[in-house]
Amino acid sequence: MKSKRQRLILEIIQARPIETQEELVRELERRGMPATQATVSRDIKELGLIKTPTGDGRYCYALPDAAPGGRERLRRLFRESLLDIDTSENLVVVKTLRGTAAAAGEAIDQLGWPEIVGTVAGDNTVLVVVRSREVAPLVADRFRELAR
């Protein structure tokens, strides 16, 4: 059941833009595969789906492989959703529009910058852990440059 549902989720997101988990739940139900939002949330995580910008200001689920790559993707995300960047010790805090932090965090992870240890994303904030407090301002400046 789970693998069939996950295959159907992949089919749905490739066939049409899906912006929310609730929209995906409705589409699964329409196709005869009822599921709860919690189940869909777990499936999204297991499938590694990310939200990517569509170009018209919306963000839809996609496979990371189908998403535009690295630097350009982050540049577009930052231009469309970045609100603020700040640092504290070895942390860079990236504030974004509501609902876009996960996509920004994934794009930051995909950059593969050696200074970045990892990211934690909420709804509108990405916490970027860097190797030292000395590099935090440098990473923040690189992010600001990407947003221009």
Q: What is the pLDDT of residues 5-34, one digit of tens each?
A: 998 998 999 889 999 999 999 999 999 999
This model's pTM is above 0.85? no
Q: Where do the domains of the chain lie, and which CATH numbers do they carry?
A: 1-63 (1.10.10.10), 67-145 (3.30.1360.40)
CA distance 111 to 64: 13
pLDDT tens by residue, 48-106: 788 888 778 888 888 765 555 556 767 788 888 899 999 999 999 999 999 889 888 88
